[in-house]
Structure 1
Amino acid sequence: MHKQVYVVPHTHWDREWYFTIEESRSLLMHDLAEILTHLEADPDFGYFVLDGQAIVVEDYLKTRPQDAERIRALAQAGRLKLGPWFTQTDSQVVSAESMVRNLMYGMQIAARFGGVMREGYIPDSFGQSASLPHLLNGFGIHSAVFWRGKTERQARDVNFVWTGPDGSAVNATNIALGYQVAKYLESDPVALQQRVQRMLARLGSNSASNNVLIPAGHDQMPIQKNLPAVLAQLEEMNPGDSYRISTIEDYIADTFADDADLEMYQGEFTEGKYMRVHRSIYSTRMDIKMANAAAETELTRMLEPLLSVASRLGFDYSPSLVAEAWKTILQCHAHDSMGCCNSDRVNADIKHRFVKAREIIHAHANMTLRLMANSVEKPDDEDLLFVFNAVPSAGTRLVQQELFVGEREFALVDVDGNDVVYSVLTIEDYDAQKIDRQIAHLNQHIPMFRVVIAFRARFEGLGYTTYRVVPGRSGTVVATRAPAGAAIQNAEITAEVTENGIRLTSRDEQKVIATLEESGDEGDSYDYSPPPNDMVFRDFAFEAGPVTIIEGAQRLAFTARRTVPATLDERERGITSRTAAFAGTVELRDGEGFARIHLEHDNDAENHRVRLTVITDLAPEYSIADNQFGVIKRELQHPEAANFRELGWQEKPDPIYPMLGFSALTQDHRGTFVATRGLREYEITGSSHNEVNVTLYRAYGDIGKDDLTRRPGRASGIKVPSPDGQLKQHLAFDLAVGFIDGEQSIVEASHATNLLNTVDCTFQVKKYNDFQLNPTGRSIPGSYTLLDLDPSIVLSTVKLMESGAGYAVRVANPTWSPVVVDTPVIHGHTAYLSRLDEEIGDRADTSVPVPACGSLTLVYLPE
């Protein structure tokens, strides 16, 4: 049969890697200008794909704004393919909302230039999330073209239908030989024919179609100007076959015109048999990955909900500031950037971007809180505490708050006039000149007190409440301490620090032990790899400290210590000269069915990995973890792992997996989950697969290395030292361990994860401030609730619509069964069904379905 070969010219543009953005942009100035000029001059060079990421255009136009019309003309003519992504995103360890905004901003930019490539083009990301069909469908995209992660276990043919558990589906094509397969095609006819026919033979072995998609490009590759002539040469040498410069759209339309016999697959692509997926890169530079998670959380679980409430009450949303924060974060989500498999100076740039994004978030949130708090009426001789709550359900939440007060004795009074019980954690003398620079300028000394309190705030849903701080009235319950070694207990869990770890027991007698594991790591920035002669330690010496009892919670302090090798050489020789010391607390809060674990540690060893290991008594059939909008079940052991080298795998398929917030094991009506704040890698071990191991960090010293135990062959990346990867710094970790009644209760793990990641968002109206503001001229109530949700679903975000016309509320159903819930109500607004792209659909009924492992977006327009 004759072949129809669709050759797609492109360049794969890594904005940063072992080079900085500034270095790649200098090259971009040359290469993109050349692409524009050649497309304009040569109509036979029909199309060019700009790597599926619109930020490349933004980068270019910052320096060459005069070329905007040239780009627009080519994009409108369909010859320069832009979008749909903002950056070529990772899909393993970035949040659902991050991927939504990546598509949102990428398509906005492409649309401004008159043309969006509505194809899910993902040429180089290290594995593909099972949620991608849902995400792509939410933007009207019904195809996906990707490289990494697929084997014949998912689908034999390169063309298949990829479905999501929510009912979404895309026509998918695997570019099995990679995006670089046709880079720099030869002009010599003999070499050209040999190369292309060898390529077609390999591709034809796993495709029933006569249509063949061949990407012609590579990393930072300039346009191959003679490509039309090269393809004409191929047609002369292969009569009957067609070789033409084409588009992904044309290939998809022609190849999937008859989809009757196509295979269907539901799930993720994370197998490194034919190409590397680096299935342990999820823990590379954990400091940066935790910074990313913090920024994502602060945007979606603090700033955007806060601004939605504020704008509902007449305050400014400032969407451009929100977009700036998002785009700063999304620059770090390109697969190499988020993988952190970069040079140290590039990783330093990435880390600084997260600092900048969080400064934008915090500054905007603080100003909004202050304006709102200043608009609540209060007596002149009292302060006011404004507390925002992003948890979309009624109940109480523990708030730990710093206050500056003029008297040691004060009462906290809620909006109904009731005194609120609180605990004083710390109190110290303070001076107002440390807060107010006008006082400092006058060299005045006004004594006051800095006090940290804890109390339970009550909310009716997502919104805010306020408290009067009344001086001169006693209202304190001072925190108390119990002797070291005492266990703590609430209505759901008992926690005890033993010499071996933290023992947790549920009300129904489920038991786990949480301990620490330290082992060697001879890997690089792409992959963990154990040394051939490793020493693995699980015998850290735990010692209980004092118990602190505060209003609404109990905290049990502990330490854990063990001597470990300082280097790989010491590990090889059996020497342990460094002490790995951890200080931490285990905390139980009233009303919570999980234990919070906080750990702090100063790393002083090299080339090693440290994990929190939770040992259960379960015998599960699979592990469970969350992904974008849903949950996924994963096998406990790959059938080809034991002899992966003999079978030709590019890397060993160990059960090291990504997660976004939690991993879990279940058996019948029992289960244990481990939730984290920004730690996004886990592995299941144990003789009965009963151990959940969450990587706290791994330390390495090279970008790439040859011949690793888990990854034979050439180095990934480049063989350059990366000493910052040793993470010799202070590290802090927050996790939660809890119990559920089997997989049917898995939504409880999602709720626990959201509670663990909830950000305190408060402001104290006080006499002395760093900056002065005029009165707002507004008056708002002392408490307000925007919305509350059914407990069977979770909130993804609430935000101002991109159009500014109303609000978008996105909820997710992280279970395997669809649910029907009452439509959330925003007073004064009417709810309409929508998609991820906020396209307005039909008016929502009083109840709405939320698909399994999927999301529902509602938009609310003013009545």
Structure 2
Amino acid sequence: MTVHVVSHTHWDREWYRPMESFRARLAELVARVCDQLDAGELGRFHLDGQTVTALDALAVRPDLADRIRAHAAAGRLHVGPWHVLADNQLVSGENLIRNLLAARRVAADLGLALADVGYCPDAFGHPADLPRVLRGFGLDTALVWRGAPPHLARFRWRAPDGSEVLAVNQGYYEPEVLWEAASAPDRLRAFREKQAGRDADGPYLLLNGGDHLAPRPLPAGLADGVAVESTLADYFDAIRDTVPAGDMVTGELRYPGDWLTFVLAGTLSARLHLKQANAATETLLEAWAEPLTVRAGRAESVGLLRHAWDQLLQNAPHDSICGCSVDEVHRENEVRFARARQAGEHLVERALLDLGLDTRLAGDPVADAAAVVVVNPHAAPVRGPVEVDVHTAPGHTLTGLRDAAGAPVAYELRETEPTPLFCADLDILPDTRDTLRHRVAFVADAPAGGWTGYTATVAAGEPPAVPAGVPGRTVTRGDWTLTVADDASFTLTDAATGRTLPGLGRLVDSGDAGDTYTYDPPRADETVTPVLREAWVHDSAVASRLVVRADLDIPAGLDADRGSRAAERVVLPLTVTATIWAGVPELDWRLEFDNAADDHRIQAHFPTDAPATSWTADAHFSLLTRPLKAPLGPLPEERGHEADAGVAPVRSLATLPGLAVLAPGLPEVQGIAGDRPSLAVTVLRAVGWLSRPDLRARTAGAGPQLPTPEAQCRRRITAAVGVRLDDGEAAVTEAAARRRAPLRAWQLRPGAATPAATPGLRVDGAQVSAYKPAEDGDGAVLRLVNPTSAEVVATVSGVDGRLVECDLAEQPVGGAAAGAAITLGPFATRSFRVTG
């Protein structure tokens, strides 16, 4: 029945204050902790689970460095194991791995020892693959809270691939227990009684601290057999053999909580532009910058690559990526995303340059031919659409497009306009040339892990007018016929199977009286769907598409008491484009509009034509199956609880029988039960408060009651979704990967020859999760993933060197696998060092 007291602080790097304001207080706290450790007032202190706390404090108080190192070396000060405490559902699996790798690197640089407990105290739910990630770094424990099954104080937690950790379900915020010495004995007794109701056997864990609070020492005389000053590692050692074999939890932790244990599912859609920026930046680094850096052998780029990841990781904490901070914080988030993308694009450009592909358009604009390169980031051949801007000399036009073998290729001219082109670099004098920019779209075929060339022929003459569409509501390409309805949704008919799916992309707008944490429909809600205004058909050898203009006439906001939507209305003009590309069995659905209304949510619905009781989505490395639900669960009747919001996180893929929806960057999806089961993808949620105490779907506040007008997302809204008429695991997960990282095309420098088709890394039978420079500078790391429920056998080619198996921390764990068949069990990942 002993209480293990772990003194700590929970440090949100940014939240209701911007980062620098919090950092100033953090430096004061770290200095105070060092003083208390020096004086013996504290025996040990847990400086949260993230090395960035030490890094941030030392940036403004470098004089504390020796004291911090000394206390860490003596086991009195604990940091890590993470670099930042991320929202581990909204970032990719590779993002989590880079997070733990960064923590090891920072700890080594600062001379700190990392804590060896999987500390995740305040994430808004926990992904199914987290045990796999922790075990990949030698961590066999996890401290969790939100989303954990409330009836279990401790349990074994198993990932889909079979990885297990010992998990403790414990709230981290308990400062009041020992805050005042006079009341501490009574409060400690009450704490033990509360814990006994969850766990009759003990021992118990008391996390003595809270958000941004300086520690209070254990009151004198309190530790006589009742409470002991402890560490998280000591507590886990004390309970390691006490968990019954039957207390096993498999998969994600998104259980409805008990009192004040909110999952806060609305954070999946608050400020969706941040989620889209995060997904795009992760893809840039994971699928482009890292593999091309490896291919080009650019060891000198590793520092810039780490810097780009550092900018991205700083946006991963839950109060950042979740969109639930004050507006100043999220302005800084957007700057960090931009910085990471700038570095990532530079890495791509330099790697391509070293590989003989110069994308810098310096010199005289082309007047006869332009070389174009299409690069494939996937370890499998890909056929897919690309767009590229071809800059010619003024007064010139494109006359054709040919592939690397000289065969003609159909293309579509999308835009033509005069464009001054500026170029400058270390070996290029700054110069601006007048050009005519031609935006061209075509369907390319690219070899695995490599590139292929195309030649755009050019001649003097006036460019043709960009083909105009014709009024119409139906297009047909191959077996598919697409028709737009009066509500701007689409009906897709497949002649090969006889299937007809109406209502695809049906937009539904509803009121939202909630906050950045929680969707909360007003008591008197009104749902609105668009009204079709016009539709235009664009049909070419490359693609068939419908461009739809529609009006969404909705209330401008909420009324004064927030109980219903306002009488005042605003019309949102929408543009919806639905495209079927030649030879690509996928509908490309895209939405654009300027949001001019407040306090509302827009979802795009994609129904299937088959009965279903569950839906499937991709997580970090695995497919997960979830039950179909009502759009919103029963509203709580007692204080301190929340309704089941029905939504769940996805990485980029959600399926129902016979239907797959590919939506990278749009992580909030609902699987809705009904006669026609539907996947509802949230494309906008606009709210104006960080937290409110007067919601029906959550009967207590979740943070400070502060206005956040920029969370109303009065900005340009874009959303892109791919739709497939199949649900086979291998096919749809491969399609989702292609959707996350489509082919890219560049015009090469004037005078460059058209490159030949050049393959690179190829993996048959599995997907590539990472192909990155090794942390220690010795070769590269290749990570294979099987996201499906069936065992697969993979073969690898196109790499220089041996494959030696390693863990996620990049430490060797097995023998060589070069040239051998590599078996991956259901939902498995395997990592390999590629060495010469």
For the criterion TM > 0.5, the same-fold answer is yes
Q: Which residue of 2 aligns with 1:213?
A: 205
Which residue number in structure 2 is paired with residue 837 of structure 1? 809
Q: Residues 581 and 762 from structure 1, CA distance in 2 versus in 1: closer, same or farther, beyond 3 angstroms?
A: same
Structure 1: distance between partners of 2:534 and 2:616: 32
> Does the 8 A contact of 1:373 with 1:386 survive in 2?
no
**Aligned-pair distance for 1:698?**
0.9
**What is the CA distance between 1:398 and its match in structure 2?**
2.0
Question: How large is the RMSD of aligned CA atoms in angstroms?
Answer: 3.0
Out of 102, 110, 129, the residue aligned to residue 107 of structure 2 is 110
* Cα distance per residue 1:589-639 (max 9 Å; x no partner): 233222111110111111111110122233211121111111111122389
By how many angstroms is 1:706 displaced? 1.2
2:763 is aligned with 1:789: yes
Distance in 2 between the 1:757 and 1:827 partners? 23
Aligned position for 2:552 = 562
Question: Is 1:245 equivalent to 2:234 in the alignment?
Answer: no
Q: TM-score, normalised by structure 2?
A: 0.91
Confirm or deny: 8 A CA contact 1:582 1:600 kept in the other structure. yes
Query: How far apart are 1:260 and its partner, in Å?
Result: 5.5
User: Residues 350-386 of structure 1: CA distance to partner in whole angstroms, max 9, x if unpaired?
Assistant: 122112211222233233334434579xx99854323
Aligned-partner Cα distance in 2 for 1:702–1:527: 10
Cα distance change on mapping 1:818 and 1:214 into 2, 3 Å: farther
Q: Does 1:263 align with 2:247?
A: yes
SS at structure 2 position matched to 1:369: helix
| CA positional deviation for 1:559 | 1.8
Is residue 389 of structure 2 the alignment partner of residue 415 of structure 1?
no
Q: Tell me, in whole angstroms, the C-alpha distance in 2 between the residues paired with 1:844 and 1:497.
A: 52
Deviation at 1:141, TM superposition (A): 0.8
* 1:677 maps onto 2:664 in alignment: yes
Q: Which ranges in structure 1 are unaligned for 5 or more consecutive residues? A: 769-774
Tell me if structure 1 keeps the 8 A contact 2:386–2:743.
yes
- How many residues were matched structurally? 816
Alpha carbons 2:572, 2:596 under 8 Å: kept: yes
Contact kept in structure 1, 2:534 and 2:550, CA below 8 Å: no
Q: What amino acid is aligned across from residue 505 of structure 1 in structure 2?
A: T
Structure 1 CA distance for aligned equivalents of residues 300 and 479 of structure 2: 40
- 1:294 partnered with 2:280: yes
Match in the other structure for 1:81: 78
Contact 1:699 / 1:725 at 8 angstroms: preserved in 2?
A: yes
CA distance in 1, matches of 2:52, 2:698: 33
Residue range with higher mean Cα deviation, 83-92 or 450-459: 450-459
* Residue aligned with 2:760, SS: strand
1:213-612 superposed matches below 5 A: 213-224=205-216, 226-227=217-218, 230=219, 232-236=220-224, 241-257=225-241, 259=243, 261=245, 263-274=247-258, 275-311=261-297, 315=298, 318-374=301-357, 383-406=370-393, 407-430=396-419, 448-472=435-459, 483-491=470-478, 493-500=480-487, 501-506=489-494, 507-512=496-501, 513-514=503-504, 515-538=506-529, 540-543=530-533, 545-569=535-559, 572=564, 575=567, 577-612=569-604
The answer as to whether partners of 1:699 and 1:727 remain within 8 angstroms in 2 is yes
Question: Does the aligned pair in 2 maintain the 1:373–1:763 contact within 8 Å?
Answer: no
Counterparts of 1:86 and 1:492 in 2: how far apart (Å)?
Answer: 51
Tell me whether 1:621 sits opposite 2:613 in the alignment: yes
Q: Secondary structure at the match of 2:15?
A: coil
Q: Name the counterpart of 1:181.
A: 174
Distance 1:91 1:431, change over 3 A: closer
Distance 2:49 2:742 in 1: 34
Normalised TM-score (structure 1) = 0.89
Q: 2:128–2:252: 8 Å Cα contact kept in structure 1?
A: yes
Percent pairwise identity: 28
Q: Is the 8 A contact 2:161 2:826 kept in 1?
A: yes
Amino acid at match of 1:255: I
Change in Cα spacing, 1:491 to 1:528, as seen in structure 2 (3 Å) is same
Give the Cα separation in 2 of the matches to 1:442 and 1:144.
54
Preserved contact between residue 481 and residue 549 of structure 1 (Cα < 8 Å): no
Q: Is the 8 A contact 1:520 1:536 kept in 2?
A: yes
CA-to-aligned-CA distance 1:55-102 (integer Å, 9 cap, x gap): 111111212234333322222222211211111110221111111111
Q: 812-821 or 83-92: which moved more?
A: 812-821
Please give the secondary structure, in 2, of the residue aligned with 1:318: helix
State the 1:645 CA deviation. 2.5
Q: Tell me how far apart the structure 2 counterparts of residues 106 and 443 of structure 1 sit (CA, whole Å).
A: 43
Q: Secondary structure at the match of 2:759?
A: strand
Structure 1 residue 410 displacement after superposition = 4.8
Describe the superposition over 1:473-516 as per-residue Cα deviations: whole angstroms up to 9, x where unpaired: 99x99975553225333446432212131112344233332211
Aligned partners of 2:757, 2:609: CA distance in 1, in Å?
46
Alignment partner, residue 121 of structure 1? 119
Report the 3-state secondary structure (helix = DSSP H, G, I; strand = E; otherwise coil) of the residue aligned with 1:527: coil
3-state SS of the aligned residue for 1:578?
A: strand
Shift of 1:763: 3.3
Distance 1:573 1:696 in 2: 20
| Native 8 Å contact 2:632 2:645 kept in 1 | no
Aligned to 2:90: 93
SS in 1 for 2:221: helix
Give the equivalent residue in structure 1 for 2:16: 18
* Distance in 1 separating the partners of 2:293 and 2:442: 25
2:124–2:263 contact (8 Å) kept in structure 1: yes
Aligned-pair distance for 1:551?
4.6
Shift of 1:705: 0.8
Give 1:150 shift.
Answer: 2.0
TM-aligned CA deviation for residue 782 of structure 1: 3.8
What's 2:30 paired with?
A: 32
Q: Which residue of 1 aligns with 2:363?
A: none
Residue 102 of structure 1 aligns to a residue in which SS?
Answer: helix
Q: Tell me the CA shift for residue 697 of structure 1.
A: 0.7
Question: In structure 1, what residue type is equivalent to 2:603?
Answer: R
Residue 61 of structure 2 aligns to which amino acid in structure 1?
R
* CA distance in structure 2 between the aligned counterparts of 1:482 and 1:559, rounded to whole angstroms: 13
Cα shift at 1:850: 2.0
Equivalent of 2:823, from 821, 842, 849? Answer: 849
Q: Within 5 A, what are the aligned runs for 1:575-724?
A: 575=567, 577-637=569-629, 641-642=633-634, 644-645=636-637, 650-666=641-657, 671-688=658-675, 690-713=677-700, 715-724=701-710
> Residues 384 and 742 of structure 2 are in contact (CA less than 8 Å); yes or no, is this contact kept in structure 1?
no
- Measured in 2, the distance between the counterparts of 1:197 and 1:437 equals 69
Which residue does the alignment assign to 2:362? Answer: none
- Contact kept in structure 1, 2:631 and 2:646, CA below 8 Å: no
- Inter-CA distance 527–493: structure 2 relative to 1 (3 Å threshold): same
SS in 1 for 2:763: coil
Distance 1:291 1:542 in 2: 30
Aligned equivalents of 2:566, 2:64: Cα separation in 1: 63
Q: Could you say if the C-alpha distance between residues 186 and 411 of structure 1 is closer, same or farther in structure 2, counting changes exceeding 3 Å? A: closer
Partner of 1:860: 834
**Alpha-carbon distance change, 414 to 373 in structure 1, aligned in 2, over 3 angstroms:** farther
**Cα deviation digits, residues 287-334 of structure 1 (max 9, x gap):** 2221111111211122222222222xxx45501111111111111111
Paired letter, 2:349: N
Distance in 1, Cα, partners of 2:755 & 2:535: 44
Q: CA deviation at 1:429?
A: 4.1
Q: Which amino acid aligns with 1:748?
A: A
Task: Note if 1:204 corresponds to 2:196.
Answer: yes
